[in-house]
A and B are shown apart, each in its own frame.
Chain A
């Protein structure tokens, strides 16, 4: 026999005052953020006559992918009329080596600073960290001179080198903190088992640090892909990254403003970081949490 009184699951009140206020606010803020994206997407799917009507919020009457095709393959910057595709491939050629190189070096840096403390390693680390707080702009010109002197100015490899160096402070910090959180006894056990600097790094540490590598990859891919300043300063027009080329398409002063093409081009440029975030969201959060614990 059950006693009299309430039993079973607690009834939910969907439309309580609290819920309405809470979800109402969330909805409002979500709209605020999503609206520009919506405008971009619908505009990019309209033809120019429809764009000129000025109804920015109305969905396209006639859906056309022509602006996307044009943005990708036909839009003109200067004398080149092969669209964003050239910039895309330039960006990929900059991105892949920069990401691989910076992460490879920074992970070894972080590992050495966390596990193989040497005399002055703390000082070295502190100097590296200070680097993270110096604005890029301060270093722009000195690096121009540096690249000129070593003959890399204006080339892809020059930019790759700059990205690798600028990524170093924050990535080293990230990796050092992660490796410092790995139990010290694990490292000691591996030393007793006869593993050396590289043996421990490659066979003990690397296999257990996937989350932090994902974080590093995301940080670097988005950072380098979205970079405009370094790209425009250290490269020449025919090796401009996608962002610089996008700017040149959107800001071209000649002819009519093709808003639909501009929107499509911008969306295309933002696609890579977007895909990265969607594909690795969970690992990213895990890694950020793991890297942030210890100072």
Chain B
């Protein structure tokens, strides 16, 4: 049993009549990298702000390291926070930015210097200490912002979409650095993002949120391979999962004229029958030589081809529904051609038509 670092119990938050978080429970393990993922307005930043103490919960409790901090000031919670816009104090030097929190906490001067030197060394911002934020690039600013959390020697790091303001290349670089930093510091980190690549690459566990509730909490692997409901399945993965409407009976899903034998698929409930959604990821569809070994084969007509370099995305039609296939980047397909595809139901996902829960 891992030790719990941050624990949120039955958290409610509403602004007037609008409920943003409802009865939310989550435990974050010590040293874990947890990512809160969701589209905008799902309450992920709100939850982070509640943990930080910047928003007051309407009801419920928050524990950090076993202490009930529900009503504690942000500075007393043992957290550091990094914001999307960096939020560096423009009139202070980098050094001033790093020391501001420590001075407020009346940390002795020698100790402040020691910690700033350490953070500057870890984040490689030593040459920048005397500069002002205006004279830094986006990536450097974000490093200073991380440093501000780092010097405070906190238990929990909170990140609110820290990489969203950076360009794509820098974002990829800093993502790797964040991961390295986490390995090095072994702090608990809670990270809010709407970018699923960031979530998948950084997280030990991902919490997918929708309208103030957690849809699924699990490792990136679980989230990707065994999504618990249709929303999660649809949200994770790009291009998005294909959904076919069908009827499940005795281990076979009938989609139009096609019958999908679900051999090898691990049903949550083995006896499930009825109307279902059959979800198949575009990258799990076999083409070319692979099709011969697949449990299910058919041909589809190609409507549109989107070459992206690394992959070729094919939009086709299967059982009157749009159907995406992800093929090798070197595949040469033309619109109007027929394509033989193979599907292994074991890698698919089946959801109840009504409840949209995994079957």
Once A and B bind, how many residue pairs between them come within 8 Å at the CB atom? Answer: 59
Contact, CB under 8 Å: A186 / B104: no
Q: Which residues of A contact B83 (CB under 8 A)?
A: 185, 188-189
The answer to whether residues A189 and B104 also contact, given A194-B75, A204-B89, A207-B91 and a CB cut-off of 8 A, is no
Contact, CB under 8 Å: A208 / B90: yes
Contact, CB under 8 Å: B75 / A192: yes
- The closest CB in chain B to the CB of A193 belongs to B101
The answer to whether residues A189 and B81 also contact, given A194-B101, A194-B104 and a CB cut-off of 8 A, is yes
Contact, CB under 8 Å: A186 / B81: no
> In the complex, what distance in Å separates the CA atom of A17 from the CA atom of B27?
78
Q: Which residues of A contact B105 (CB under 8 A)?
A: 194
Partner of A191 from B74, B148, B160 at Cβ < 8 Å: B74
B147 within 8 Å of A by Cβ? no
A183 within 8 Å of B by Cβ? yes
Q: Which residues of B contact A185 (CB under 8 A)?
A: 83-87, 160
Partner of A192 from B81, B84, B91 at Cβ < 8 Å: B81
> In the complex, what distance in Å separates the CA atom of A240 from the CA atom of B5?
69
Contact, CB under 8 Å: A193 / B90: no
Partner of A189 from B49, B87, B91 at Cβ < 8 Å: B87
> In the complex, what distance in Å separates the CA atom of A203 from the CA atom of B100?
10
Contact, CB under 8 Å: A192 / B52: yes
> In the complex, what distance in Å separates the CA atom of A188 from the CA atom of B91?
16
CB distance from B56 to the nearest CB of A (A): 12
Write out, one digit per residue, whether chain A residues 176-217 have a CB within 8 A of any chain B CB (1) or not (0). Answer: 000000010110111111110001000110011000000000
Q: Which residues of A contact B88 (CB under 8 A)?
A: 189
CB distance from B316 to the nearest CB of A (A): 45
Q: Which residues of A contact B104 (CB under 8 A)?
A: 193-195, 199
* B interface, size bucket: 20 to 34
B79 within 8 Å of A by Cβ? yes
Contact, CB under 8 Å: A192 / B89: no
Contact, CB under 8 Å: A192 / B85: no
CB distance from B193 to the nearest CB of A (A): 16
- The closest CB in chain A to the CB of B79 belongs to A192
> In the complex, what distance in Å separates the CA atom of A195 from the CA atom of B103?
9
Interface positions, chain B 137-170, Cβ under 8 Å from A, are: 148, 152, 160
Contact, CB under 8 Å: B75 / A186: no
Partner of A183 from B49, B52, B85 at Cβ < 8 Å: B85
CB distance from A41 to the nearest CB of B (A): 43
> In the complex, what distance in Å separates the CA atom of A193 from the CA atom of B101?
4
B197 within 8 Å of A by Cβ? no
Interface positions, chain B 58-94, Cβ under 8 Å from A, are: 73-75, 79-81, 83-91
- The closest CB in chain B to the CB of A182 belongs to B90
Contact, CB under 8 Å: B74 / A186: no
CB distance from A163 to the nearest CB of B (A): 31
Interface positions, chain B 95-141, Cβ under 8 Å from A, are: 100-101, 104-105
B272 within 8 Å of A by Cβ? no
Q: Which residues of B contact A191 (CB under 8 A)?
A: 53-54, 73-75
Contact, CB under 8 Å: B91 / A183: no
CB distance from A258 to the nearest CB of B (A): 53
The answer to whether residues A183 and B100 also contact, given A189-B81, A191-B54, A192-B80 and a CB cut-off of 8 A, is no
Partner of B148 from A183, A189, A207 at Cβ < 8 Å: A189
Partner of A186 from B79, B89, B101 at Cβ < 8 Å: B89
> In the complex, what distance in Å separates the CA atom of A195 from the CA atom of B160?
20
Q: Which residues of B contact A207 (CB under 8 A)?
A: 91
CB distance from A114 to the nearest CB of B (A): 16
Q: Which residues of B contact A186 (CB under 8 A)?
A: 87, 89
Q: Which residues of A contact B75 (CB under 8 A)?
A: 191-195
> In the complex, what distance in Å separates the CA atom of A195 from the CA atom of B91?
16
CB distance from B353 to the nearest CB of A (A): 43
CB distance from B183 to the nearest CB of A (A): 24
- The closest CB in chain B to the CB of A189 belongs to B87
Q: Which residues of A contact B52 (CB under 8 A)?
A: 188, 192
> In the complex, what distance in Å separates the CA atom of A75 from the CA atom of B148?
65
- The closest CB in chain A to the CB of B96 belongs to A203
Q: Which residues of A contact B53 (CB under 8 A)?
A: 191
The 9 tightest CB contacts between A and B, nearest first, are: A194-B75, A193-B101, A194-B104, A185-B87, A189-B87, A207-B91, A185-B83, A192-B74, A186-B87
A-B contact pairs, 26 of them (CB 8 A): A183-B85, A185-B83, A185-B85, A185-B87, A185-B160, A186-B87, A188-B54, A189-B87, A189-B148, A190-B89, A191-B54, A191-B74, A192-B74, A192-B79, A192-B80, A193-B75, A193-B100, A193-B104, A193-B148, A194-B75, A194-B101, A195-B75, A195-B104, A199-B104, A204-B89, A208-B90
Task: Given contacts A189-B89, A190-B100, A192-B81, list 11 more A-B pairs with CB under 8 A.
Answer: A185-B83, A185-B84, A188-B81, A188-B83, A189-B88, A192-B75, A193-B100, A193-B104, A193-B152, A194-B105, A195-B75
